Structure 1
Amino acid sequence: MMIRKTITSLLLLAATVVSASVSQRTLHEGWRFRQGNSEIWHPAQVPGNTHLDLMRERIIEDPFYRLNERSVQWIDKEDWMYETHFQPTAEELAASHQTLVFKGLDTYADVYLNHQRILVADNMHREWRCNVEGILKEGDNLLEVFFKSPVKMNVPKFDALPYRHNTGPDHSQMGGLFDKTISPFARTAGFEYGWDWGPRLVTFGIWRPVLLETWSGTRIADVWYIQKDVTKARAQLRTIVEVEADSAQSATIAITADGKPATTKAVALKPGLNTITLDYTLKNPRLWWTNGLGEPYLTTMKLRLTRLTPDPSLSREGSGHSQSNNRDKKLSTPLSEQRGAGGESSTRLGIRSLRLHNDKDQYGHNLYFELNGEPLYAKGSNMVPNDNFLSRVNDSIYRQVVADAAAVNMNMIRVWGGGIYEDDAFYRYCDEMGILVWQDFMFACQTYEVDSAFLANIKEEAICNVRRLRNHACMAVYAGNNEEQDVWFGWGGKKRYFEELGQADRVWKMQHSIFYEVLPEVVRLYGGGIAYRPSSPWAFEDTPSDGINGDDHYWGVWHGGEPIEAYFDHHVRFQSEYGFQSFPEYESVLRYNPDPRDHDIYSEVMMAHQNAGTYANHRIEEYMGRDYRVPKDFKRFLYVGQVLQADAVKMGMEAFRRDRPFCMGGIVWQLNDCWPVASWSSRDYYGRWKALHYVTRKAYDDILVSPRIKSSSASGDVIATPTKQVAALPTEENAKAMQQQKLHLPSEGADGKLLELKLVNDRRTPATGNLKLQAMTIDGRIVFEQTQKVKLPKNDAIDVQTWRVKDLIGDEMAENVIFYITYETGSKTYYNIAYPVRQKDMHYRKPQLTTAVTPVADGYNVSVSTDIFARAVFLKTKGINDFFADNYFDLLPGQTRTIHVRTSKPRAQFLKELETTTLGDDYETNSIQ
């Protein structure tokens, strides 16, 4: 009797289960747009934006070309209407849940379905979900999106305040708004309003996908993998699953890791949202490592939700079949086998232990990442949005950006706070290629007017993005903003704008509510243990950054006008911004400035693509005049400017790496560009590698040979021995003094100069190798040579030896000698070159370069040889599509280097176009000043 009753109950339970039917489809077809006060419709592209639509219709010219940015400033003063028609399927109409999902609306938008308003959007950084049950209808459906002008929305807010907010480089003058900097009032990417590397192009549009999402029965809404404790022996994981169900039902959740069972749990689902927690342990997991430290292995985690259904044979009462062997047998029907895959989730999870240290020590407070128990030196760059027109940044662009970072030994990218929370593809490629992400929240260089509605909007923005990104192994830390703590406490913003008006306490309370209350709470609740810092740079809650308590943005070199050598004496715990500007290479410039009449860095066209103004051009000329011979020729000026940028930032990279473990990270400003421009980037807008990106590969290698030429007065004339010495680390007091002091260029000639050599090892294992120092003349004659065996501890930097330059070069002129240092360990040789005098004083001559071109599958191998030392050899062809695997390299006398070139050009054309340039080409001509 008991058996029969149980069977009947199971059958009744099975009868209440609604079959899952989950469907998503994009609504990207048939869109059209018009200006708000016009009746003329034009075809539109979704995802996209108004500027691109206007370009396709030839209503405006490309804003990236010549001076065209100026002529499109009217667009953000207008409203814009978008609409499309679509027909739901019978299945979509029958679904019990019907939702329109807008992944991104830029920015102020009213959305109507069949003339009913379903959404008022005011934040481009959020996803918007609209329940359209009862509004979606059979047959034709009209979807309308009405974008409102942010100028019309926010100028009244600016005018209403008795003070003005601190802003970043808001180009309000370019936008025709005079001094009305309205960017702080909109939850729009700050860079759209102009920056010192970007134009003012305030955009509109449906910039991310639009989806019609329908489902019935049961669906997995979210799966969150929390890594509670991970070692190489075991990984303790917690998985939190959100399941939405139409009705009560029994089910089982099963998780596998790389196809092997991990855990199973029986659950009773109630109608509505169900949150289920599963705790389990994986033994001997394959760990995820960053680029250079190991394999960024991703474990395939699959979660399957199945409903419980009785064996049909159990219902055959009186049939004469035996039931005793089947009474406990049940069939599991995977919900994923029903339409829409509503019951299965697959996640590629990088299993790792990642901790951010900010511990007090004898110098202040350190800042470093610990990955799988090993201290990690962060080597990376800051990323801005890859295009002002964000919908153009497709999967292949994201892949190339991350691949280019990995190719030059980066292990971290900082997503800067004036842009966007990037597309899922970016974080996926960072997972796959072992690149950690320092993620700013989208606030930069400004203060904000905060009320309860603004704060609630920010909270939803933060929840949306933290939930979206939390399963990515690459996620390393969230920072509340970029530089806003320093804007307030360190740059006079508090006094200049608010104290004099008696508004300082009130405005700081607004900022505090964002960065010390809402954002850290969201990260705590939804981030799964990812670290949070209120700002970058940041030391303490009520002070500006100081570099020795947390991270630092160092701009003494460049903005401060300090000599490039000042990098060596700037001692900080973590350098999250520093950099040096250059123009794009000549072939890139031709894309937006083809007329030779405009080939002057102060021409109208070049200045339109120098968003930092004449100040930045003067800086480049000033630094170039200090250390290099300044060409009069425009094309060659661009080349020397690239060498200058590369040499300057390389010096910074080496200086901060030499300081480990006191300093444990260097993040260069910047990786990329949003439009063709003179900037601090190592890759230009078109993806062309500048000299800086090429030299980064060696400067960020796992072992660094780092020589430094310095005056003996700076070192107290103490000569180090070849044994390991721990680098002298500054106290908190004298480190502050070092940051403030102005440093001077070393004297010319060899007298009083020292060659100091350090080795840095980022590996997880020690190294032993042969170190060789050679002093050689420009024509290749060896005047000094020394070889020694050096043991290099893991995760460390050591002093090797310091020599008097005069002892190394003897009677040779310093201007005629280079120092070539190699460290050979295993099958690899690391090298670097030091110069006893500044580049402009070196006795370079035009080398006789010979090239041999050999066809290969995807292009050519170009072998380059030289008779004398060739500094910064640059190979190029016409256009921007040929990629050289190495460039701007130094070539020793008699040495041959073979460079792979990826190109589709026929051999005859390639040979005709191939050009070589070196720094010494015009040292004996009149083309210098």
Structure 2
Amino acid sequence: MNQQIVLSNWKFKAYDEAVWLQAQVPGSVHTDLLRHGIINDPFYGVNEHELQWIDKKDWEYEATITLSESWTGMRHLQLVFEGLDTYADVYVNEQPVLSADNMFRAWRVDVKDYVHAGDNKVRVVFHSPINRDLGSLHKQGMEMPAPNDQSELGGLEDHKLSVFARKAPYHYGWDWGPRFVTCGIWREARLEGWSAPKITGLYIRQNQISEQAADLTAEIEIHTPVDWTGRLQITSDGKVWDREVTLSSSSQIIELDMQISKPELWWCRGLGEPSMYTFKAELLEQDHPVSEKQVKTGLRTIRLVRERDQAGASFYFELNGVPVFAKGANHIPNDSFIPEVTNERYRHEIATAAASHMNMLRVWGGGIYEEDIFYELCDEYGILVWQDFMFACSMYPGDEAFLHNVSMEAEYNIRRLRNHPCIALWCGNNEIDSAWAHYIEESGWGWKQNYDRNQREKLWTDYETLFHRILPETVSRLAHNIAYWPSSPLRSLSRDENQHANTLSGEGDIHYWGVWHSVEPFDNYNSYIGRFMSEYGFQSFPELKSVLSYAPEEQLELESDIMLAHQKNGSGNRLIKEYMEQYLPDPKDFKSFLYMSQVLQAQAIKTAIEAHRRNKPYCMGTLYWQMNDCWPVASWAGMDYYGRWKALQYTVQRSYRDIMLSVLESPEGEIIVYAVNDLREQVSARLRLQLFDFHGRVWYEGDETIVLEPDSSVQIKTVSRESLLQSSDPQQSVLLISLEREHELLTSNIFYFAGFRDIELPQPRITIREVPGTKGTSFTLESDSLARQVWLSAQEEGIFSDNFFDLIPGVPMTIQFYQRSNEERPFVEGIPGDVTVRSMVDFIK
């Protein structure tokens, strides 16, 4: 059988220094320096600014591996680095064996001729990506657009170097992330040895899948040191497929057809169970295993449907023949220093997505091709993945070496991920097509105006070579039946002015940033609706506990040095304040501003989500920006760096329910109630409308039975403002709309007849009592007057079943606390410790 040794006991030092220190692998030089106390916490205060020297130095890592003669006697010894970040020369016993230049690829090299029995030294020299790519820039002779590259912070003036390295773009800074240009051995390093045939790859190609049968082909990649004859066997769920094989001494792919009758299909969350199959491939010699490899996959068909219709062209995903309304968010890396992300942190994120009723995450193109555990969890929880290639908001080189490197990167990652049923789409890049806007002179981000005609044509030709030829050809060849989309957003691949994204064009996917960047009102979410909303967002601060992790009390003001350092969007703090002055009462101090910013963010995204879902099936996807953070910061995230849910995350949890109610007031004063049903079944329920004043008096009440068809969005009730309010004060009235089935509350929503700057909130008296028999894990809240945006904060880390909700007198709310637990069970019923209950009136002047 094959054997392996994971390389451990690494040490590191600066290349020009003599003292070696213990290193952690997988890891990065920044975190190694931090563990030894050589640098201060990179995330605290303005320390980021003081640590820009690290990326200007070369660093080296060294480990010793002791081999027995049985190891050195093997026919093949291969040194494997799953991830080297990024420019690295590898030496074995001081002999050069490998030069790496891509963070996103695994690197393998045969080292049999370089090792011996006893101690062997493996040394990795990492070259400064800054010094290396200053040379690349000089050779290119032309600056390239990369507006998120914070080169000035890095002491490089306006020299944007991120485009040259096949390295995570966000390491160079982004408008939500710091600039830490890392290096290091960021994934596992090991030595593999074998003398017999070795299975190096197993892909379960899904030829045709239906409820009746799954027609599959196993593609088994085998490396054979010598000619070999034996039996190849595939097993899954008690089934066996096998054949005799004769292998020559080379690498080869053997195919084996398989069929499964009445398979259990993989479904995304909300449509069914995410059933998985385990397939095990073995090479057997006289019934004894010589080599084996095992993969898990789910059986499903996934299709991007783009068909002409009266409005333009559809854009939606069809899973096992069923249209999917995509509900989710954009995912960025969970840390600036990726090896710091534990499996528990990954599970916390994906479990949060599932608990928030999401069915899709978009892995955005400025980060990384995520760790295996990320996709395994998406498979497990039924979360579809829109997967970008790692290109974002920049133009890129087009020389032969760069394109070849990207081709190898794409092939490696498609092969690595193609067994995962969660993968729904491969997308070429983030926002480059719309930023350059080649076919419309006055459109785009102003990039192309900085170049003459010849430069423009060269940059665009290079772009098309990469995103319109190399990447789609690689996806087509290796990712069976998975669609490719060249850029997000994009209207269509028309190669004329109709190619670039247009919110009102009726086709393609859309990034709508009029709200936020252009300071447009929240109501514009109701007008600018595309076929698939793949980006939109609004910022807030994290809660006070998180802010205090990077700032002392004396820095708690909007324009302090630390608050500005932890706000990477240049206008971010100003925009939050400007929008708050339009929509919410004035906060009484900065700590209150933190809370109010979260309420504001939630209000914005709630408006957008409801608009997108109401317009189903014209619109078939809503992915807000963004799910998570890579450091503690003010940003668009719904869950902060520490995994703490903001008001937005709780609002999303309500807004993404499979059954949703939405309420609008028309210009004519009609109150219109919509119901959205994403389920595959008809729903009969009781619709109930109740109008309260702020002290609990019921001014109006009505109910009726309604029937919601499967997969539908319909207008279910229209009533005039006057007939509802009658003599009640619109500034002191609240409308509660709910759907109930057999005394079970399916969903509800609340409508106010005045903006919250026009409403005078009473001072509520909120009572909280433990639910008997729950041992301190569940509580019922009541209030004697309207309590707006009730915020429960717990002593223990965890989440509540609901939070940031409006509490109407006479309508009690029962909530459960879930303590943040371990890797296998992220949320378990727990005791919150001290619970603090506050509402909006506690935070306003």
Structure 2 length-normalised TM: 0.95
What are the within-5 Å matches in structure 2 for residues 228-627 of structure 1?
Answer: 228-261=207-240, 263-307=241-285, 309=286, 332-335=287-290, 342=291, 344-489=292-437, 490-498=443-451, 500=452, 502-541=454-493, 542=495, 543-547=499-503, 548-593=506-551, 595-613=552-570, 615-627=571-583
Conserved? CA contact 2:638–2:647, under 8 Å: yes
Which has the larger displacement, 441-450 or 539-548? 539-548
What are the within-5 Å matches in structure 2 for residues 3-82 of structure 1?
Answer: 21-29=1-9, 31-82=10-61
Q: Could you tell me how far apart the structure 1 residues matched to 2:135 and 2:678 are?
A: 54
Offset of residue 786 of structure 1: 2.2
Q: Could you tell me how far apart the structure 1 residues matched to 2:515 and 2:684 are?
A: 35
Q: Could you tell me how far apart the structure 2 residues matched to 1:686 and 1:63 are?
A: 15
- Higher CA-based Rg: 1
Q: Could you tell me how far apart the structure 2 residues matched to 1:649 and 1:227 are?
A: 38
Partner residue in 1 for 2:663: 707
Q: Which of residues 155, 170, 177 in structure 1 aligns to 2:156?
A: 177
Residue 562 of structure 2 aligns to which amino acid in structure 1?
V
Offset of residue 517 of structure 1: 0.9
Partner residue in 1 for 2:826: none
Residue 511 of structure 2 aligns to which amino acid in structure 1?
H
Flag the 1:260–1:36 CA change in 2: closer, same or farther, 3 A.
same
Offset of residue 159 of structure 1: 3.6
Residue 448 of structure 2 aligns to which amino acid in structure 1?
K
Flag the 1:855–1:766 CA change in 2: closer, same or farther, 3 A.
closer
Q: Which of residues 822, 836, 840 in structure 2 aligns to 1:919?
A: 840
Conserved? CA contact 1:852–1:862, under 8 Å: yes
Offset of residue 855 of structure 1: 9.4
Offset of residue 828 of structure 1: 4.2
Offset of residue 436 of structure 1: 0.5
Flag the 1:857–1:865 CA change in 2: closer, same or farther, 3 A.
closer
Conserved? CA contact 1:650–1:695, under 8 Å: yes
Conserved? CA contact 1:494–1:504, under 8 Å: no
Residue 6 of structure 2 aligns to which amino acid in structure 1?
T
2:704 aligned with 1:788, yes or no? yes
Conserved? CA contact 1:774–1:819, under 8 Å: yes
Kindly report the root-mean-square deviation, in angstroms, between the aligned alpha carbons of the 2 structures.
1.9
Flag the 1:90–1:899 CA change in 2: closer, same or farther, 3 A.
farther
Residue 2 of structure 2 aligns to which amino acid in structure 1?
V
2:608 aligned with 1:652, yes or no? yes
What are the within-5 Å matches in structure 2 for residues 618-767 of structure 1?
Answer: 618-712=574-668, 753-767=669-683
Residue 334 of structure 1 aligns to which amino acid in structure 2?
P
Percent sequence identity over aligned pairs:
42
- SS state at 1:591 partner: coil
Q: Could you tell me how far apart the structure 1 residues matched to 2:664 and 2:5 are?
A: 59
Q: Could you tell me how far apart the structure 2 residues matched to 1:394 and 1:464 are?
A: 23
Partner residue in 1 for 2:689: 773
Q: Could you tell me how far apart the structure 2 residues matched to 1:877 and 1:765 are?
A: 38
Flag the 1:829–1:603 CA change in 2: closer, same or farther, 3 A.
same
Q: Could you tell me how far apart the structure 2 residues matched to 1:468 and 1:581 are?
A: 34
What are the within-5 Å matches in structure 2 for residues 874-889 of structure 1?
Answer: 874-877=791-794, 881-889=797-805
Offset of residue 228 of structure 1: 1.3
Conserved? CA contact 2:76–2:193, under 8 Å: yes
Q: Could you tell me how far apart the structure 1 residues matched to 2:133 and 2:561 are?
A: 31
Flag the 1:559–1:167 CA change in 2: closer, same or farther, 3 A.
same
Q: Could you tell me how far apart the structure 1 residues matched to 2:776 and 2:820 are?
A: 6
Partner residue in 2 for 1:99: 78
Q: Could you tell me how far apart the structure 1 residues matched to 2:42 and 2:449 are?
A: 35
Structure 2 spans left out of the alignment, 5+ residues: 438-442, 822-830
Conserved? CA contact 1:859–1:902, under 8 Å: no
Structure 1 spans left out of the alignment, 5+ residues: 1-20, 310-331, 336-341, 713-752
Q: Could you tell me how far apart the structure 2 residues matched to 1:821 and 1:126 are?
A: 53
Offset of residue 709 of structure 1: 2.4
Conserved? CA contact 1:598–1:604, under 8 Å: yes
Q: Could you tell me how far apart the structure 2 residues matched to 1:786 and 1:854 are?
A: 30
- SS state at 1:841 partner: coil
Residue 23 of structure 1 aligns to which amino acid in structure 2?
Q
2:803 aligned with 1:803, yes or no? no
Q: Could you tell me how far apart the structure 2 residues matched to 1:346 and 1:190 are?
A: 33
What are the within-5 Å matches in structure 2 for residues 816-835 of structure 1?
Answer: 816-825=732-741, 827-835=744-752
Which has the larger displacement, 269-278 or 449-458? 269-278
Conserved? CA contact 1:167–1:445, under 8 Å: yes
Flag the 1:134–1:911 CA change in 2: closer, same or farther, 3 A.
closer
Q: Could you tell me how far apart the structure 2 residues matched to 1:785 and 1:210 are?
A: 67
Flag the 1:858–1:476 CA change in 2: closer, same or farther, 3 A.
farther
Which has the larger displacement, 617-626 or 881-890? 881-890
Which has the larger displacement, 795-804 or 857-866? 857-866
Partner residue in 2 for 1:750: none
Deviations 1:494-522 (A, max 9, x none): 53232x36311111011111101111111
Conserved? CA contact 1:378–1:411, under 8 Å: yes
Q: Could you tell me how far apart the structure 1 residues matched to 2:818 and 2:424 are?
A: 34
Q: Could you tell me how far apart the structure 2 residues matched to 1:867 and 1:24 are?
A: 67
- SS state at 1:87 partner: strand
Q: Could you tell me how far apart the structure 2 residues matched to 1:54 and 1:350 are?
A: 42
Number of aligned residues:
825
Q: Could you tell me how far apart the structure 2 residues matched to 1:138 and 1:90 are?
A: 5
Residue 509 of structure 1 aligns to which amino acid in structure 2?
T
Deviations 1:347-374 (A, max 9, x none): 2221111111111222112110111111
Offset of residue 805 of structure 1: 1.3
Q: Could you tell me how far apart the structure 1 residues matched to 2:701 and 2:581 are?
A: 33
- SS state at 1:610 partner: coil
